[in-house]
A and B are shown apart, each in its own frame.
Chain A
Amino acid sequence: MLRQIGLNSGELFSSIPEDLRLRRSLNTPAALSEIELLAGFEQMAARNAAAYRSSFVGAGAYAHYIPTIVDHIISRSEFFTAYTPYQPEISQGTLQTIFEFQTLVCQLTGMEVANASMYDGSTALAEAVLMAERVTRRSKVIACGAVHPEYLEVVNTYVQHAGIELKHIDFDSRTGQTSSALDQALDEQTAALVVQSPNFFGCIEDIAALADKAHAAGALLIVAITESISLGLLRSPGACGADIVVAEGQSFGVPLSYGGPYLGLFATREKYARQIPGRLVGEAYDKQGRRGFVLTLATREQHIRREKATSNICTNEGLIALAATVYLETMGRRGLQEVAQQCAQKANYAARQIEKLAGFSLPFSAPRFNEFVVRAPGNARELLSRLASDRKIDGGLALWRYFKDRPNDFLVCVTELNSRSAIDALVDGVASVSKHKDTRTQS
C-alpha cells in the first residue's frame, strides 16, 4: 500500500518534526494472548473481596436484579458498536430507543421532557443547577445537607466559576429531612432549592411542601434521586411540583462496576425544553410520511452554539440508556411496582430487626424507602470491618466517611436481592460482633 501511494515507510510520519518523534518503544506491557490476559484480569478481580460478599451497601449505587436479556441486547453489535445517531436513516434503532427512554423517564419522574442522558446522577445535578441559573437569572442555590455528599462536591466543582453561590442548609437531626432552616435561606436571589428524595440517609422528603416553599420565593425545585427504583412506589417528583428532576439510573439494569458507567437522568417542564443540556430525540417524518426519529433542538448544543451552549456535553451514556430502557420495558409497569415494594418491605423488616438489638437505634424518624441509618453502640467502622472479616458480610456504609461527627452511624441498604436469610445473618452478625467487641473493650 505504501508503494502504491508512492511512499516509503520512513515518510509516513514526515510531517512530525524529527525531534518530536519517539525514538524508542513505549514502556508499556508487551502483547498478551487472550489466555494470559484473561488470567491476569481474573487474578486482579479475585483481589476484590467485596464483590463476592453479601452486601448491604447502597449510598448512590445499588445491587438489583438484572434480567438476562438486558446484557444480551446491549451486547448486540448493532447497538454497542454504533456511533451517535447523526445519520438518522441508518440509526433508527438507537434513535427510537432513545425516544422510548425519554418517554419512560418522563413517565417515572412525572415530568414533561427528558433528555437522552447525562454522565451520571451527580453531573446531571450539576447541570440542573446551571440550568436553574439560566432560567431564573438568579445566582444563589440552596442545597440540603442530606443530598449525597459526592453529588454536592461535584456541583461545587461545576459552579465554582459560574458566579453561583452554593449555600448548604443542615438536615434536621431528628427527622433526617431538610430542616426548617430552609425558610430563612430562601429569598428573592434564590435560583433553586436542591433536595434529594429518598435522601442520602434513605429518608423520604416532603417534596410537595418543599416545592411550595421554593415557588413562593420564585425559585425552582430541583429533585435528585439516587435510588431510582423508588419511583416504582413513591409519588413522582413531577406530581409534587418539582421543576427539574435528575436521577442516577444505575438501578435500572446496570451493574455496580465499581462506580461506572452509570446513567444520568434529566427531566424538566416543557417550557424549559430549550434550556435542557444534552441531546434530545424527537419524532420526524420523511417525504413518504413514514415515521422516524431524529436528534432535534440541536442549536442548544456545543457543536452549534459553542461557548453559549446549554452544556459542553457531547458523548453521553447512550448504551447505558439502552440498558435502562430494556430493563424498564422488561420489568414493565407491574415489575417496577413489585420490585419497589419488595425493597421497601425488606428494608423495613431489616430495620425492625436491628432496632430490637440492645444498644442499637435508628436515629432518624422520617419514613424510608430502602435505606436507613443505624446507630451502633460503638464505632461503626470497627463493627463493619469485623462483620466483613468474621462473617463475610458488608453490612453498610460507615457515615464517618462523609460525616466525621457520626462515628457510630452506618447506612444500610436492602434490595430485592437480599434474601431473608441474608438479612437475618446481617442482624445476627451485627449483634454478635458488637457484643464481642464490648467484652473486649471492657476487659
Chain B
Amino acid sequence: MANVPEDLHYSKDHEWVRVDGDIATIGITDYAQNSLGDVVYVEVPKPGDEFAAQESFGSVESVKAVSELFTPVSGAVVEANETLQDEPEKVNQDPYGDAWMIRIRMSHPGEVDSLLTAAEYEDFTKAETD
C-alpha cells in the first residue's frame, strides 16, 4: 500500500502539494514513484519561471518511460531541487521529503482548495489500480 501523508494536498496527476503561507512545495507521490520504477532523471525548471495550474513544469524519467510533471497550482518558481540532478534515486527513496521538486509562490492560493485530500487521493489511486 502506497504511503499517503495526511497533511498534504494531492492532484490527479499524482503530485503532492505542501502549503506554507503562500509557498507551495510540490513533488510526486509514493504511488507515482512506485509505478514509474527506478527514477533515473528529473528535469526541473529554473527559479523565476512562471506556470499556470495544470501546466507542465518538467519531467521525470525511468529507464523506459517519461512522465511529465504538472503543477497543481499557479505561480512563480522560487526554488527548484537541484540535487535531484545528481541523485534522482531520491524520488524513489523519499518522495515526500528529500525529493521535493519545486517551491512555487502561489498567485492563486485558493487553487489548493480544489485539490484532493489524502483520503480522496487514496480512493482515486485505488480506482486506478482496479
A and B touching (Cβ–Cβ under 8 A): yes
Which chain A residues have a beta carbon within 8 Å of chain B's beta carbons?
Answer: 274, 298-299, 304-305
Interface-lining segment among B21-29, B46-54, B57-65, B90-98: B57-65
Q: Are A274 and B66 in contact (CB under 8 A)?
A: no
Majority DSSP secondary structure for residues of B touching A: strand
Interface string of B19-43 (1 = CB under 8 A from A): 0000000000000000000000100
Shortest beta-carbon distance, A46 to chain B, in Å?
51
Do residues A304 and B41 form an inter-chain contact, with CB atoms below 8 A? no
A185 to B103, CA, bound (A): 41
Give chain B's interface residues, CB within 8 Å of chain A: 41, 61-66
Closest-CB distance, B104 to chain A (whole angstroms): 23
Most A CB within 10 A of own CB, among B41, B61, B65: B61
Bound CA–CA A274/B41 (angstroms): 10
Are B41 and A305 interface neighbours, CB within 8 A?
no
CB distance from A280 to the nearest CB of B (A): 13
Query: B74: shortest Cβ distance to chain A, in Å?
Result: 23
**With A299-B65, A304-B65 already in contact, 6 other A-B pairs whose C-beta atoms are closer than 8 Å:** A274-B41, A298-B63, A299-B41, A299-B62, A299-B63, A299-B66
The interface residues of chain A lying within 8 Å CB-to-CB of B63 are 298-299
Cα-based distance from A304 to B36 in the complex (angstroms): 13
How many Å lie between the Cα of A274 and that of B88 in the bound state?
Answer: 15
Q: How far is the CA of A304 from the CA of B66 in the complex (A)?
A: 7
Query: Nearest A residue to B43 by beta-carbon distance?
Result: A274
Contacts of B64 in A (CB 8 A): 298-299, 304
> Taking the nearest CB of chain A, how far is it from the CB of B120, in angstroms?
31
Q: How far is the CA of A274 from the CA of B58 in the complex (A)?
A: 14
Task: Give chain B residues whose Cβ lies under 8 Å from the Cβ of A299.
Answer: 41, 61-66
A274–B40 Cα gap in the complex (Å)? 12
CA gap between A299 and B66 in the complex, in Å: 6
Residue of B nearest to A274 (CB): B41
Give complex CA distance A381, B63 in Å.
56
Chain A proximity of B89: nearest CB distance (Å) = 15
Q: From residue A140, how far is it (CB to closest CB) to chain B in Å?
A: 24
Q: Which chain B positions have C-beta within 8 A of A304? A: 64-66
Central interface residue in A299, A304, A305, by most chain B CB within 10 Å: A299
The 4 closest A-B pairs by CB, nearest first: A299-B61, A299-B66, A305-B66, A304-B64
What is the bound-complex CA distance between A274 and B62, given in angstroms?
14
14 A-B residue pairs with CB within 8 Å: A274-B41, A298-B63, A298-B64, A299-B41, A299-B61, A299-B62, A299-B63, A299-B64, A299-B65, A299-B66, A304-B64, A304-B65, A304-B66, A305-B66
Chain A residue with Cβ nearest B63: A298
- Report the minimum CB–CB distance from B110 to chain A (whole Å): 33
Identify the closest chain A residue to B65 (Cβ). Answer: A304
- Shortest Cβ distance from residue B22 to the other chain A in the assembled complex, whole angstroms: 30
Residues of A within 8 A of B41 (CB): 274, 299
Q: Which of B41, B65, B66 has the most CB of A within 10 A?
A: B66
CA distance A274 to B59 in the complex (A): 13
What is the minimal beta-carbon distance from A278 to any residue of chain B, in angstroms? 17
- Cα(A305)–Cα(B61), bound, Å: 11
Give B88 Cβ to nearest chain A Cβ, in Å: 12
Q: How far apart are the CA atoms of A305 and B41 in the complex, in Å?
A: 14
